[in-house]
Amino acid sequence: MSTPARGTLPRASGPRLADPILQGVLAAIAASVLLLIGFFFVKLILESEPAFEHTGVVDFVFSNNWVPSRGQYGALPLVFGTLLTSALALVIGVPVAVASALYITELAPRRVRGPLTLLVELLAAVPSVVYGLWGIFFLAPKLLGAEKWFSSTFHFIPFVGGSPAIPNYFVASLILAIMIIPIVSAISREVMSTVPRDHKEAALALGATRWEMIRIAVLPYSRAGISGAAMLGLGRAIGETIAVTIVIGNAAVIGDTVFSQGYTLAAVIANEFGEAASDPVHRASLIAAGLLLFILTLVVNLVARYSVTRAESAGARKVPVGMAG
Amino acid sequence: MTAVLTPISSRRRATDRAARGVTLALTLLALVPLFLILYFLLKEGLGAFSMSFFTTDPTGRFLGNAGGIRSAIVGTVIIVGLATVIAVPLGIGVALYLVEYGKQSRFANAVRYFIDVMTGVPSVMFGLFIYIVLVVAQIDGTFAAWKGAIALSLLMLPVVARSSEVVLNLIPNALRESALALGAPRWRMIFRVVLPTALPGLVTGSMLAIARAAGETAPLLFTVAFVNGLSANVGQRMNSLPIQIFNDVSQAQDRLVQRAWGAALTLVLMILFVSLIARLVQRRSRLQP
């Protein structure tokens, strides 16, 4: 190597083109994500076209007759099942998840925080199909007695009464509730940890008890984030497939009670795609069900992302710089 | 002058105690299903374990010996392995672009947004997508293991990209600037400074993506389908643990359900093993969030 002229440094060895090439390749990979999602969406719309032609968009979504053997594809029972199970899952799962997040971040002794977090996260490590296996062979039969008692005692409540089936909406909702606890809890914990320490200490210094501190400092501050977490959980519950397919009974009707067998959009896709292979309209209808599911989760997730990011960036801004602790 | 701090009234004290009790009770309630599932997995699953359980394939016979889960274990390892080979380089590539080149440009933010969108897409949709594009279109036959691997990789990609972006952002800029100041071109700075520093974090993110993909049933159902025998040909149908469990559950015969519990325990142990490694690697990383 020749000695450089005085005052200049030697140019780095290696091909000059390497830099633009690397940048180009990485940009292409990033762009392929955009193209992929675009292609995904377009393909879903194109392939579900025959279904909408056969049934009509409005009838597809709002008519209550899913009988593939007679060529009737009204997805209302599936939409109903999806909305009912995920709404019930939220009602059951979110309070538990938020309470666990509160306990872990604010109340638990420091020593047990790590282990408790780990245990709640373990719930997320159990595969969907294993939840289904456990749900149908343990949970559903065990719950039957309680469901019978509940529906005969509270038969005056709408959607309660009759004789419960073993696989039913309620069992599916309960399994979904268990499955969304880890994600809702994790995001709630994250949001609660952005609550400024001086807000909490101010509440305590004014003589608030721990619970009053939570109510006046922690909860108001993290409310947007917690609702975002619940929405993310809702997105998960809407799209969950295999566990629900196993425990919901797969009956394409709007059940009379929460203890009736039902169906969801995701479950119908998993169950019927095999028989639909030979019937283009049936296949297109399943893809249309998928499109519906996709749009549903997309809307829910975008709302969720929006409120979580807003909550977290608000948290980041309000933490005073240079405060002790 | 005396201090006039009124003592906390007994009603407020009781509310506090009750509220704490309720949060503790709900936290424990969340863990009840976990312990029940683990208990049943161990009780029923260990009962199914035997030497032949791991060394024989499912027979598919309606009566008599149901066979083991060898082909399912091998299939899961192959399919998830292939999905990892596809998703990890792409995911890290996307993250590198976002952190090192794209930064806050409009294009980079659009990519971030779509990665978020991808995270929320239900796994069954990726299966359906690959089913439409590769299976129905009869590209290289119908059902095949590689198609399932692509479906899983779509699921893993956003997880890898997101976690890698977080890790790459943790690398102090001073490190990058010192490499550049020493005259290193950008590509060399990325390969010699950024990637090695981020390595443990990147491995952790990838392992967590693997753990998530390994348990997925829906994407495989439409793309790989099911076969009893052992196969290492990724151009053909292949067995896998989630599909094996799903099939055995649907048949509701005692001996098959028994095998499903055994397969479930095997799958959960594999997932826990991968997650454990992920945690150990994370602990060794010098970049802590």
Question: Do A99 and B187 lie within an 8 Å CB cutoff?
Answer: no
Instruction: Please tell me the predicted confidence (pLDDT) of residue A12.
Output: 56
Quote the mean pLDDT of chain B: 92
pLDDT band per the 50, 70, 90 thresholds, residue A322: very low
Per-residue pLDDT at B252 exceeds 80: no
DSSP string over chain B? ----PPPPPHHHHHHHHHHHHHHHHHHHHHHHHHHHHHHHHHHHHHHH--HHHHHS-B---SSS--B-SHHHHHHHHHHHHHHHHHHHHHHHHHHHIIIIIITT-HHHHHHHHHHHHHHHS-HHHHHHHHIIIIIITTTTSSS-HHHHHHHHHHHHHHHHHHHHHHHHHHS-HHHHHHHHHTT--HHHHIIIIIHHHHHHHHHHHHHHHHHHHHT--HHHHTTT---SS----TTS----HHHHHHHHHHHT-HHHHHHHHHHHHHHHHHHHHHHHHHHHHHHH-S---
Question: Do B129 and A44 lie within an 8 Å CB cutoff?
Answer: yes
pLDDT band per the 50, 70, 90 thresholds, residue B2: low
Tens digits of residue pLDDT in B9-63? 889 999 999 999 999 999 999 999 999 999 999 999 999 999 999 999 998 887 7
A chain contacts of residue B30, beta-carbon cutoff 8 Å = 96-97, 100, 120, 123, 181, 185
Tens digits of residue pLDDT in B254-271? 889 999 999 999 999 999
Per-residue pLDDT at B286 exceeds 60: yes
Smallest CA–CA separation between A33 and chain B, in Å?
A: 7
pLDDT band per the 50, 70, 90 thresholds, residue A319: very low
Question: Do A100 and B102 lie within an 8 Å CB cutoff?
Answer: no
For the entire predicted model, the pTM comes to 0.91
Tens digits of residue pLDDT in B119-130? 889 999 999 999
Closest-CA residue in chain A for B143? A274
Per-residue pLDDT at A138 exceeds 50: yes
The ipTM (two decimal places) reads 0.92
Residues 48-87 of B with CB under 8 A from A: none
Instruction: Please tell me the predicted confidence (pLDDT) of residue A158.
Output: 84
Among partner residues A19, A37, A43, which is closest to B187 by beta-carbon distance? A19
Looking at residues B171-179, what average pLDDT do you find?
94
A chain contacts of residue B98, beta-carbon cutoff 8 Å = 30
Residue bearing the bigger pLDDT, B4 or A282:
A282
Tell which of A43, A106, A129, A238 to mutate to test the B interface (max B CBs under 10 Å).
A129
What is the token pair recorded at A176? 């979904």
Question: Do A270 and B184 lie within an 8 Å CB cutoff?
Answer: no
Smallest CA–CA separation between B233 and chain A, in Å?
A: 23
Tell which of A26, A247, A309 to mutate to test the B interface (max B CBs under 10 Å).
A26
Question: Do A128 and B216 lie within an 8 Å CB cutoff?
Answer: yes
Tell which of B40, B80, B133, B217 to mutate to test the A interface (max A CBs under 10 Å).
B217
Looking at residues B240-252, what average pLDDT do you find?
92
pLDDT band per the 50, 70, 90 thresholds, residue A316: low
Looking at residues A129-154, what average pLDDT do you find?
93
Tens digits of residue pLDDT in A147-193? 999 998 988 888 888 889 999 999 999 999 999 999 999 999 999 99
Query: In this complex, is the C-beta atom of B195 within 8 Å of any C-beta atom belonging to chain A?
Result: no
Tens digits of residue pLDDT in A77-115? 999 999 999 999 999 999 999 999 999 999 999 999 999
Among partner residues B31, B108, B218, which is closest to A242 by beta-carbon distance? B218
Smallest CA–CA separation between B52 and chain A, in Å?
A: 22
B chain contacts of residue A301, beta-carbon cutoff 8 Å = 116-117, 119-120
Instruction: Please tell me the predicted confidence (pLDDT) of residue A320.
Output: 36
